[in-house]
Amino acid sequence: MINVLVTGGQGQLASCIKDVEVEYDNLNIIYTDSEALNICNVSQVQSFFKSYDIDYCINCAAYTAVDKAEEEKELAFKVNAEGPKNLALACKEHNVVLIHISTDFVFDGTNREPYTEEDKTNPISVYGASKLQGEIEIQNILEEHFIIRTSWLYSEYGYNFMKTMLRLYFDLSTSSRQAKLSTTTDGEISVVSDQIGTPTYAGDLAMVILEIINRGSKAYGLYHYSHEGAISWYDFAKAIFEFSNILINVNPISTAAYPRAAKRPPYSVLNKAKIRKTFNVTIPDWHIRLKQILEGL
């Protein structure tokens, strides 16, 4: 039996891991939240690792409030950099393999072709900088690690763009019914159209992570994983409503027209050649998987 610790156990990726773990009878997975295991508390981390016989640690814990991080820089770095450092130290001491989840926000978005693992990082937000520092801390401490950068995660769980769009539609349609409005559609929304990336279903990432563990791979290092394709948030929103058979006007707007506290990379498509070749994984196209997920809902 392989013992696996999952931090951030109530988040969307951990929830997806719970869904797919049933396919792996050889895995015993322990899920923890910040109350059970505060990764920012080095003594608590060390104590936890001494108390449990762990083979792998999947770090899903993260500070993900991108805009709020601009004001809470210290907290963002504490969770996204010091936390992974504490885990890496404990993993090194107890011979545990660390699988850490990172982000496309480590890039500045000036590329016009998918980013490889060798491309220069240059985060333009506190969130991106804190996640990059977490990568660096792990790489400096622990050889036995997998760092997986991903992008635009969505699922049935937690807070994500897909659920936000569906919630906005529900709120708009409810308001229309209450006001007794008669329209051909249920309102309209505006979505940024000049930020390009790739939506990624968290359940597919969860499956890749568990497959790496199941194979006992020692191909440690940095990897990119997202679905195939390159679209804008506007395209993503339109597809969500189309696949949900929802009639709503979606208007494209520029990033400048929708100012946020944190800058976003205008282009953050990830190159998946390395992870595909190393682990022979099949990566679905974004729109095929999104349609399947929405049909399932």
pLDDT in tens, 190-214: 999 999 999 999 999 999 999 999 9
Element (H, E) at 2: strand 2-7
- From residue 104, alpha-carbon distances to 86, 129, 145, 210 in Å are 23, 11, 18, 21
SS3 assignment, position 67: coil
What is the Cβ-side half-sphere exposure of residue 41, based on CA atoms within 13 angstroms? 11
pLDDT of residue 175: 55
Active site residues: 127
Which position has the higher pLDDT, 186 or 288? 288
- Categorize the per-residue pLDDT at 4 as very low, low, confident or very high, splitting at 50, 70 and 90: very high
pLDDT of residue 170: 84
- Each residue's pLDDT tens digit, 40-85: 999 999 999 999 999 999 999 999 999 999 999 999 999 999 999 9
Which CATH topology does 2-156+199-229+269-284 take?
Rossmann fold (3.40.50)
Whole-number percent of the chain with pLDDT over 70:
95
In this prediction the pTM is 0.94
- Neighbour tally for 184: CB within 10 Å: 6
pLDDT, position 83: 98
Over residues 249-261, the pLDDT tens digits come to 999 999 999 999 9
Residue 27's pLDDT is what? 97
Sequence spans of domains, the chain: 2-156+199-229+269-284
Q: Looking at this protein, which amino acid is placed at residue 140?
A: N
pLDDT > 90: percent of the chain: 92
Average pLDDT (117-135) is 98
pLDDT for residue 58: 98
**pLDDT confidence bin for 171, thresholds 50/70/90:** confident
Q: Answer yes or no: is pLDDT of 232 > 80.
A: yes
Determine the pLDDT at residue 177.
46
Taking the alpha carbons at both ends of the chain, their separation in whole angstroms is: 33
Cβ atoms 14, 59 nearer than 8 A = no
Q: What is the pLDDT of residue 185?
A: 47
E strand residue ranges, 158-281: 188-192, 196-197, 200-201, 221-224, 231-232, 249-253
Q: What are phi and psi of 15, to 5 degrees?
A: -65, -35
User: How would residue 234 be classed by pLDDT, with cut points 50, 70 and 90?
Assistant: very high
Name the pLDDT band for 179 (thresholds 50, 70, 90): very low
HSE-CB for 172 with a 13 A CA cutoff: 19
In tens, the pLDDT along 14-23 reads 999 999 999 9
SS3 221: strand
Confidence of residue 184 (pLDDT cuts 50, 70, 90): very low
As a whole number, the mean pLDDT across the chain is: 94
User: In the 8-state DSSP scheme, what is residue 10?
Assistant: T
